[in-house]
């Protein structure tokens, strides 16, 4: 990890006590959105990456839905759409006028949806391995062992380790500290119930004939990425969002450059933080004129 100190902060985001992890001071701002799964948070999902993104100021919020240290009792009646609304509230509360936006997995869909709603505020879009976006683009993928491990989390430390083994390829990254951090977040009062309610609402959202239209990106994402500089970074050894899903997605987004990272899994940013940081910083530097 780069020699930058991660700071733990709280903000009132439209009435929701929201925790976020921050690093850096006065540089250009990047907001990093973590993926789904029990115990996920800004620090757990993005800490190593944002620590390496010198000289940026980075903000990684813990979402509603039972994540991190954000209020687990914040309602999420519309599931994944509520993560987008929460991001809107966080950006407003922190007075972030214009920023680069990065998201992994479920968080990549949240980032893209936010950019669709507020294109004037997003300078660059960085998406990391996302089955949720693949599904939003009409792609189908059979459940994998990694997916079943995430969905089968039962509150035990052993199940958390199995969950992480499906997301991260490098076993040295699954330290006791990481396990303790995610396990504490996942089992704090209200978190399990919040995650169950969030998951149920997201499933209902996908089935609703009207609300599900907001999940579909087959028309909108190609247009968005033609106007906002965008890249996709995918682990070549992703066992959750399979590389073949990413390869099928690639020609559907002709304006998006895909980067394939060897030896990295679903949390490509945790397996290879320095590699991903270098890709992101080069993208922000070379795409500055286009933005």
Q: What is the CATH number of the domain that holds 15?
A: 3.40.50.1820
* 128, part of any domain: yes
Q: Please report the pLDDT score of residue 290 as a whole number.
A: 45
Kindly give the pairing relationship between strand 7-13 and strand 16-23.
antiparallel
User: Does the residue 2 lie in any domain?
Assistant: no
């089968």: which residue's tokens?
A: 152
Instruction: Assess if residue 19 is contained within a domain.
Output: yes
CA distances from 148 to 117, 142, 162, 204 (A): 32, 11, 10, 19
In a domain, 41, yes or no: yes
pLDDT for 289 beyond 50 = no
State mean pLDDT over 139-153: 96
Containing structural domain, residue 278? 7-286
For residues 87 and 13, what is the distance between their CA atoms, to the nearest angstrom?
Answer: 9
Per-residue pLDDT at 1: 42
Average pLDDT over residues 115-125: 98
Backbone angles phi, psi at 33, to 5 degrees: -110, 120
Residue 291 counted as domain residue: no
Domain assignment of residue 124, yes or no: yes
In a domain, 54, yes or no: yes
d(CA 183, CA 161): 9
Percent of the chain with pLDDT over 90: 96
> In the prediction, which pLDDT does 4 show?
86
Is 185 a member of any domain?
Answer: yes
Tell me phi and psi for residue 60, to 5 degrees.
-125, 95
Domain count, the chain: 1
Tell me, yes or no, if the pTM score tops 0.85: yes
pLDDT at 140 over 90: yes
**Which residues does residue 235 pair with via DSSP β-bridges, in sequence order?**
261
Q: What mean pLDDT do residues 136-153 have?
A: 96
Average pLDDT in the 161-177 region? 96
């Amino acid at each position: 990890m780069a020699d930058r100190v991660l700071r733990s902060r709280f903000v009132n985001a439209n009435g929701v006590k929201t925790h976020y992890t921050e690093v850096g001071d006065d540089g250009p701002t990047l907001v990093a959105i973590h993926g789904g799964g029990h115990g996920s948070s800004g620090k757990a999902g993005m800490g190593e990456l944002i620590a390496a993104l010198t000289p940026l100021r980075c903000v990684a919020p813990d979402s509603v839905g039972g994540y991190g240290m954000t209020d687990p009792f914040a309602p999420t009646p519309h599931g994944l759409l509520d993560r987008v609304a929460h991001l809107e509230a966080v950006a407003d509360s922190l007075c972030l006028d214009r920023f680069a936006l990065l998201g992994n997995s479920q968080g990549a869909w949240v980032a893209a949806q936010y950019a669709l709603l507020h294109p004037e505020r997003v300078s660059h879009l960085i998406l990391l391995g996302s089955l949720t976006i693949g599904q939003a683009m009409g792609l189908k993928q059979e459940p994998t062992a990694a997916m079943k491990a995430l969905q089968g989390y039962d509150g035990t430390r052993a199940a958390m380790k199995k969950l992480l083994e499906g997301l991260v390829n490098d076993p040295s990254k699954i330290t006791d500290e990481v396990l303790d951090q995610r396990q504490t977040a996942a089992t704090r009062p209200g978190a399990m119930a919040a995650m169950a309610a969030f998951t149920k609402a997201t499933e209902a959202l996908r089935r609703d004939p009207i609300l599900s239209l907001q999940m579909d990106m087959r028309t909108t994402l190609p247009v968005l990425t033609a106007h906002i500089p965008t890249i996709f970074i995918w682990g070549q050894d992703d066992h959750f969002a399979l590389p073949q899903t990413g390869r099928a997605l690639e020609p559907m987004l002709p304006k998006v450059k895909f980067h394939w990272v060897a030896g990295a899994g679903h949390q490509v940013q945790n397996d290879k933080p320095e590699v991903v940081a270098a890709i992101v910083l080069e993208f922000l530097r070379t795409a500055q004129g286009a933005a």
